[in-house]
Amino acid sequence: MINIEIDGKSVETERGSTVMDAARKAGVYIPHFCYHKKLSIAANCRMCLIEVEKAPKPLPACATPAAEGMKVKTHSEMAVKAQKGVMEFLLVNHPLDCPICDQGGECMLQDVAVGYGGSASRYNEEKRVVEHKDVGVLISTEEMSRCIQCTRCVRFGQEIAGVMELGMAFRGEHAEIMSFVDSTVDSELSGNMIDLCPVGALTSKPFRYKARSWELSRRRSVSPHDALGSNLAVNVRDNKVFRVLPIENEEINECWLSDKDRFSYEGLNSPERLTKPMLKQDGKWIEVEWQAALEYVANGLRQVANGAGADHIAALATPHSTLEELYLLQKLMRGVGSGNVDFRLRQSDFSADGKQAGAPWLGMPVAEIESRDRLLVVGSFLRKDHPLLAHRVRQAVKKGAQANIVHSSDDDLLMPVANKAIAAPSELVNVMAQILKALAAEKQGSAQGVENVTVGSEAAAIAKSLASGERVAVLLGNFAQQHPQASQLAVLAEKIAALCGGKFGFLGEAANSVGGYLAGAVPGAKGMNAAQMLASPRKAYVLLNVEPELDCANPQQAMAAMQAADLVVAMSAFKHHATEYADVLLPIAPFTETSGTFVSTEGRSQSFKGAVKPLGDTRPAWKVLRVLGNLLGVQGFDYDSSEAVRDEAIAAQGKLDNHLDVALQGVAGGAAQGTQRVADVPLYSADALVRRAASLQKTRDAATPTVAMRGSELQKLSVQPGDTVKVTQGNASVRLVARADDGLPVGVARVAAGHATTAELGAMFGTITVERA
């Protein structure tokens, strides 16, 4: 630590920090535009000029290193004169359009101009005008004449998003920020550029001209999408959500938001919103009162229980449901005598049930990822499944960590990858066994269960990398958890982490992937898991936020089970495909209209309240389940608030523990018959809300799925990239455009799941046939 003096005040700061850092620590405000605590120093706006004792001229505070005994004046005559001079230059070309600017009321330039700008401009010449450029559906650049060339957006792309999508062209007053050769900004974190822009040059296209910042109320909430649990500020006016912004939390999302979290609010105002309870009578849907709908459901469930037996009642929920909803759903099912309840809809291997010590979680705090020096990420479409966790991994790599990948697709992670083993799904267990054997040799540890495995060069390189690390993390992604041999992958990953003395964890798929276990929304010893409930159809299904054709591991099987059931109760915020097979539609509130709790992948429990009142006759799902419990005569359903449900759920909850008591078996690689399907869930198809966000559905990440294979494999089929091919799985075929991707292993075809175009196909893992159309 060193001591410097700022405006007569003694400040202690870290050696190597800047005057700006020291001033922020001391609570001294220095005006600035290009400086941002998360970005590199550019020092190009010059607004932060200060006076330093013995320096012949003003110096930029953001780029001046603090030195022992340094004396700084931030508001001296010299400093203020320099700052006012810079402000005048910045305003020379700036258009005087604050009244119609979307940034008005929350603009740094506006705020600083009040303190440092002149009352009138001395500049009488013609102002420069920058032509509008279209950079995509999320960011508006229609007023780039407002740009002050702070380059925050450029540096964000390079340093945080990992891809430089904007850059500066030309020089002097002709300098412009633009994308490369008319390309669009497609990063999954692009919306952060809107927050970073200190003026109104980059604004939100979906929010543009919808409301003024001072008209909006801010409500605190938590992201319902991925398992990070990003903190949100929901901006509301007239009982409608107008936009979503990040709330800074260094331990979780820092000051960033993924585009999915930022723009999915559009789905809340979708024309597909379900606002009235509906019953199907004589093949037609009619709107009814809540009392009639709930009594119909209660009578229907009672009839099934009395006739076929309670074990013919099944409940499925998505992991995007709140802790309270999941807890009451399982309590209701067990209250009527059925153990058939599950939220793990995309999982295909349940062999670890009853053998897992606790709820699978990340194994460490999210912020700790950045301090790891060796990482092994197994089976994860990391950038698209976990945009902000991918950013944490990128930051770790920038600090010198080595990232190692085991996966069935070689996606661009926008960072240097030390070693990678890209193998067909059927080979992943064998690859992990190879790494364990090679690592055991490096560490002189036990290789029990993998003695007969032959180690390849890729596995040996990954083992060598992990063996050389001091702070190792082995993380299982969505693809690994959905794999038909998920428990074997988990056991191998746990053993690899143990040999390295590192952390082993699961990257949770959704907001309550951990919370679902803690709420007990999994079958016990007598219950059926999600796959069994659909493979052996039940008489009655209660669906909580579920769209079976998009949310299940095997949509073909799921739809067949729904069609065969006597009673299907769909609790949803939206009208969806359920109109074809359901008997009752119950409108339940999305996350902004209910209170609840999400438990993040790091086991952090975060509660939130509703930001707006429920739309129409919509009701919070916990209230609907409470009334159903009362109608069915189940004990213990007399809750007054969601907090009472939460407190009971937390008191009854299990613990976080990744240990699996599962034996290793079948680690030898075997050649699979036919072409294997590799299925990712596209970024903007992961849940019901984001599927209905209009702007996100126009982005590149929401494009219609293709079928991707190696170029050589397409040639064997006499197919050119861009041709339409017929893709068959199970008893259904769809037509998709073929795409060449040499990052895939031989013998696989990548076809997305969770999308309407591919919803007719079978399981996410399995054999698939591709042929010329």
The pLDDT tens digits for 167-196 are 999 988 889 999 988 789 999 999 999 999
Q: Is the Cβ–Cβ distance between 190 and 139 less than 8 Å? A: yes
How much of the chain exceeds pLDDT 70, in percent? 99
The closest alpha carbon to 44, from 60, 28, 56, belongs to 60
Q: What is the pLDDT of residues 36-54, one digit of tens each?
A: 999 999 999 999 999 999 9
Q: What's the CATH superfamily of 366-506?
A: Dimethylsulfoxide Reductase, domain 2 (3.40.228.10)
Does the pLDDT value for residue 540 go beyond 70?
A: yes
Distance CA 555, CA 91 (A): 58
pLDDT of 470: 95
Distance CA 631, CA 645 (A): 18
Burial zone of 722 (CB within 10 Å; 0-12 exposed, 13-18 middle, 19+ buried): exposed
Residue 161 DSSP symbol: I
Helix (H) or strand (E) holding 648: helix 642-652
Q: What 3-state class would DSSP assign to 113? A: helix
Q: What is the CATH number of domain 2-42+50-77?
A: 3.10.20.740
Burial zone of 716 (CB within 10 Å; 0-12 exposed, 13-18 middle, 19+ buried): exposed
Does the pLDDT value for residue 70 go beyond 80?
A: yes
Q: What 3-state class would DSSP assign to 241? A: strand
pLDDT of 450: 86
Q: What 3-state class would DSSP assign to 9? A: strand
94, 102, 147, 645 from 90: Cα distances, Å: 7, 19, 9, 55
Q: What is the CATH number of domain 278-354+513-652?
A: 3.40.50.740
Distance CA 423, CA 716 (A): 20
Distance CA 315, CA 389 (A): 31
Token code pair at residue 190: 């692009």
Residues of the chain by 3-state class (helix, strand, coil), percent to 5: 35, 20, 45
The closest alpha carbon to 368, from 250, 481, 247, belongs to 250
Distance CA 735, CA 770 (A): 10
The closest alpha carbon to 654, from 746, 527, 516, belongs to 516
Contacts of 89 (CB under 8 A, 6+ apart): none
Does the pLDDT value for residue 531 go beyond 80?
A: yes
How does strand 472-476 pair with strand 374-378?
Answer: parallel
Helix (H) or strand (E) holding 316: strand 313-317
pLDDT of 447: 81
Q: What is the DSSP string of 414-432?
A: SS--SEEEE--GGGHHHHH
88, 145, 173, 202 from 127: Cα distances, Å: 14, 9, 10, 19
Map out the domains of the chain as residue ranges: 2-42+50-77, 93-196, 278-354+513-652, 366-506, 675-772
The closest alpha carbon to 567, from 576, 578, 555, 554, belongs to 578
Backbone angles phi, psi at 465, to 5 degrees: -60, -50
Q: Is the Cβ–Cβ distance between 436 and 495 less than 8 Å? A: yes
Q: What is the pLDDT of residues 223-254, one digit of tens each?
A: 999 999 999 999 999 999 999 999 999 999 99
Token code pair at residue 523: 């079958």
Q: For residue 707, which amino acid is it? A: V
3-state secondary structure 507-555: CCCCCCCCHHHHCCCCCCCCCCCHHHHHHCCCCEEEEECCCHHHHCCCH
Q: What 3-state class would DSSP assign to 576? A: coil
Does the pLDDT value for residue 346 go beyond 80?
A: yes
Helix (H) or strand (E) holding 286: strand 284-287
Distance CA 391, CA 159 (A): 9
Distance CA 346, CA 553 (A): 4
In sequence order, the β-bridge partners of residue 660 are 356
Report, as an integer, the average pLDDT of 611-632: 96
Does the pLDDT value for residue 202 go beyond 80?
A: yes
pLDDT of 649: 92
Rg of the Cα trace of the chain? 28
pLDDT of 132: 87
Burial 330-364 (b: 16+ CB within 10 A, else e): bbbbbbbebbbbbbbbbbbbbebbeebebbbbbbb
Compute the residue count for the chain: 773
Residue 18 DSSP symbol: B
Distance CA 351, CA 264 (A): 35
Distance CA 625, CA 569 (A): 12
Token code pair at residue 350: 């349940």
Q: pLDDT averaged over the chain?
A: 94
- Using 50, 70 and 90 to split pLDDT, how confident is the model at 668? confident
- The answer to whether the predicted template modeling score (pTM) of the entire model surpasses 0.75 is yes
Report, as an integer, the average pLDDT of 547-568: 95
Q: What is the pLDDT of residues 441-483, one digit of tens each?
A: 998 888 888 888 999 999 999 999 999 999 999 999 999 999 9
Does the pLDDT value for residue 670 go beyond 70?
A: no
Contacts of 760 (CB under 8 A, 6+ apart): 555, 556, 732, 733, 734
Q: What is the pLDDT of residues 145-158, one digit of tens each?
A: 999 999 999 999 99
Distance CA 356, CA 333 (A): 22
Alpha helices in 93-207 (DSSP H): 108-116, 152-156, 192-196
270, 549, 687 from 692: Cα distances, Å: 6, 16, 9
Q: What is the pLDDT of residues 86-98, one digit of tens each?
A: 999 999 999 988 9
Q: What is the pLDDT of residues 757-768, one digit of tens each?
A: 999 999 999 999
Distance CA 151, CA 143 (A): 16
Distance CA 478, CA 346 (A): 9
Token code pair at residue 307: 């006739």
Distance CA 645, CA 2 (A): 52
pLDDT of 72: 95
Residue with tokens 């930001």: 611
Residue with tokens 């936020």: 545
pLDDT of 448: 85
Report, as an integer, the average pLDDT of 425-454: 91
Contacts of 762 (CB under 8 A, 6+ apart): 554, 555, 556, 557, 729, 730, 732
Tally of CB atoms within 10 A around 9: 12
Does the pLDDT value for residue 671 go beyond 70?
A: no
Contacts of 447 (CB under 8 A, 6+ apart): 436, 437, 440, 441
Which of 3.20.20.100, 3.50.50.60, 1.10.10.10, 2.40.40.20 would CATH assign to domain 675-772? 2.40.40.20
Distance CA 620, CA 618 (A): 7
- Using 50, 70 and 90 to split pLDDT, how confident is the model at 669? low
How much of the chain exceeds pLDDT 90, in percent? 90
Q: Is the Cβ–Cβ distance between 525 and 552 less than 8 Å? A: no
Distance CA 75, CA 542 (A): 66
Distance from chain centroid for Cα 684: 10
The closest alpha carbon to 334, from 522, 514, 532, 518, belongs to 522
